[in-house]
Amino acid sequence: MSEATGSPWPGPAGLIPVTSGKAEDANVYNRAYLDRIHVEMRVIDSARPDLTTSVFGRTFSSPIMMPAFSHLNKVGEGGRTPMEEYARAARELGVLNWVGMEPDDEYARIAAVGAPTVRIIKPFADHDAILEQIEFAEKNNAVAVGLDIDHVVGTDGGYDVVDGIPLGPVTQRDLAAYAKAAGVPFVAKGVLSVSDARKAANAGCAAIVVSHHHGRIPFGVAPAQVLPRIREALEGSGVAILCDCGIDTGYDAYKVLALGADAVSVGRGILRPLLAEGTAGVVKKVCAMNEQLSELMLYTGVRDTRLFDPTVLYL
Ligand SMILES: Cc1cc2nc3c(=O)[nH]c(=O)nc-3n(C[C@H](O)[C@H](O)[C@H](O)COP(=O)(O)O)c2cc1C
């Protein structure tokens, strides 16, 4: 933080910012990056937009999807199950649901809500455990399955351990084996470079999520910042480009979609309404985001979600 301004950026006097390199810095940087993007106006001939979006060959009411959260049923007070509550919101809204690290029995309960769901599995050191979870997800009608490859590294500089389960390295060959084993589209979540995007595409991933998992990597570049390069590198590959991190309003979603994402996930932006009001809170939050997205699309002449144009943006 700059001592003079309390901001992580150089103040007007050009003070050099001092950051700790902790995860929160990547989130602060990401927020600042999204906020500094502005848009021009293209209202003549503009019309109310259609938010309908196709992902994994399915049609959804909006490009704003649920996040791949996990572990929230452990913090649900009074027997509440926030993982199921946000799945119900996805079903009600007609958007794609995502689920992160959950054991099979929990995953089955969430899937039983009936929202189209993507299961993201941890990069376990035990490859058979990954293959078993892929198979279980498919049996429970998952739309797609994937791995959050950005969770390989722990804060001790080695491989992370989650819930006592060791995680391990992920190679392009591993990804190719998982993608081949999966009978549904396979997703690499946590791509933050052209290099990894190309490897994921070469491994046969049907989609990538450009993300740093709310700041896992110290000093991580903003996903929105690296997105245009990834879009360019994957042009014509058929790989869907999804994105998350810091998307809290429909305006954030608009910017990230204009920068090249096919769809986005709201993350911690739904956490507070979810824990306070359950399904209704999430529905309210995403409806408000859809209105904001529609507002900026109408202001900038974007009639549907296939027609975003990065030339309206000023960075
Ligand atoms: C409570 C919680 C649990 C999460 N669990 C997982 C997980 O198991 N797998 C995963 O890929 N991402 C997980 N994430 C990361 C989100 O999927 C998403 O990448 C991140 O929250 C986006 O950043 P944002 O919160 O700034 O929007 C989790 C995030 C939170 C807040």
Question: 225 falls in which pLDDT band (50, 70, 90)?
Answer: very high
Identify which of 268, 274, 286 to mutate to test ligand 1's pocket (most ligand atoms within 8 A of the CB): 268
CA 137, CA 94: separation in Å to the nearest integer? 20
Which domains, and CATH codes, for the chain? 53-314 (3.20.20.70)
Residues ≥6 apart with Cβ < 8 Å to 78 = none
Mean pLDDT value of segment 149-161:
97
Question: 77 falls in which pLDDT band (50, 70, 90)?
Answer: confident
pLDDT at 6: 35
Confirm or reject: Cβ of 267 under 6 Å from ligand 1: yes
Q: Say which residue, 75 or 109, is predicted with more confidence.
A: 109
Question: 23 falls in which pLDDT band (50, 70, 90)?
Answer: low
CA 104, CA 133: separation in Å to the nearest integer? 7
CA 214, CA 266: separation in Å to the nearest integer? 11
Instruction: Please give the single-letter amino acid code of residue 78.
Output: G
Nearest ligand 1 atom, CA 98: 17
CA 7, CA 152: separation in Å to the nearest integer? 31
CA 153, CA 122: separation in Å to the nearest integer? 12
- What is the distance between the terminal CA atoms of the chain, rounded to a whole angstrom? 23
Mean pLDDT value of segment 256-267:
98
pLDDT at 60: 98
Q: What is the residue with the minimal CA distance to atom 11 of ligand 1?
A: 148
CA 118, CA 208: separation in Å to the nearest integer? 12
Cβ-contact 192, 150 below 8 angstroms: yes
Cβ-contact 259, 232 below 8 angstroms: no
214: left (phi over 0), alpha (psi -120 to 50) or beta: left
pLDDT at 146: 98
Residues ≥6 apart with Cβ < 8 Å to 1 = 7, 8, 17, 18, 19
Q: What is the residue with the minimal CA distance to atom 21 of ligand 1?
A: 267
Q: What is the residue with the minimal CA distance to atom 9 of ligand 1?
A: 100
pLDDT at 2: 30
Confirm or reject: Cβ of 215 under 6 Å from ligand 1: no
Identify which of 213, 245, 272 to mutate to test ligand 1's pocket (most ligand atoms within 8 A of the CB): 213
The CA 100 to ligand 1 mean position distance, Å, reads 7
pLDDT at 16 over 60: no
